[in-house]
Amino acid sequence: EDFLKAYLGESPGDILDAASGELLGRHKGLWFHTVGQRKGIGKSLLPQATAKGPWYVVAKDPDRNIVFCSNQYDQEMFDQPRSEFTVESISWMAGGEAFNNHPPGTIMPLLMKIRHGPRLVQGSLEWTSSTTGKVRLDHKDGGLAPGQYVVFYNEDAECLGGGVISEKHWAHFLLSYEQQLRVFKEDPV
């Protein structure tokens, strides 16, 4: 934290409940938090919010400097953002060139590695253009975030290529939040 503060400074903003829009606390900068994070959030939360935890970071909105958290991270409302995402800048290595010319809508089952670590997960890639696609994982992942890499493998665990999780990953969720926020503003309780 000291390293980030020394180089990036602080930029305080709100921490909001992803489901209700309720103010949970204040953060010192988006860069101090990562999607999927649980540890270290409590010190930024209001006491009444801390008691309702544990809280997980589920999204960040850099345009509005908001960190979204949830104490319902394993609930249905987060199934889609934890198991589906858009991948961009897809490129293929030797042996993967055969995947270059699939028409949009083509779905390919693949093994994948998200972020770092030894675990390969099963899922599918649906082509949306020659360098973008929609990934659907067979099982939820705990910390998908824009900018992370996904690497594609065949059934023999041979690396074929990869791409980057798009900034659009949380767009559906944030749009839903925008709609909820309008309701909160129009109907103060």
**Looking at residue 75, what is its pLDDT?**
61
Q: What pLDDT score does 76 carry?
A: 60
- The closest alpha carbon to 122, from 104, 103, 105, 135, belongs to 135
Q: What is the pLDDT of residue 13?
A: 95
| pTM summary value | 0.65
H/E stretch holding 186: helix 171-186
Q: What is the pLDDT of residue 186?
A: 46
pLDDT in the model for residue 183 = 41
Phi then psi for residue 150, to 5 deg, are -120, 130
Give the residues of the chain that fall short of pLDDT 50. Answer: 183-189
Q: Which residues pair with 109 in a beta bridge?
A: 124
Q: Which residues pair with 111 in a beta bridge?
A: 122, 153
- With beta carbons less than 8 A apart as the criterion, state whether 106 and 98 touch: no
Pairing mode of beta strands 66-70, 13-17: parallel
Closest among 37, 72, 38, 48 to 145, alpha carbons compared: 37
pLDDT digits (tens, 9 = 90+) for 61-111: 888 899 988 887 566 655 555 678 889 999 888 666 566 667 788 899 999
Per-residue tokens: 42:
């409590």
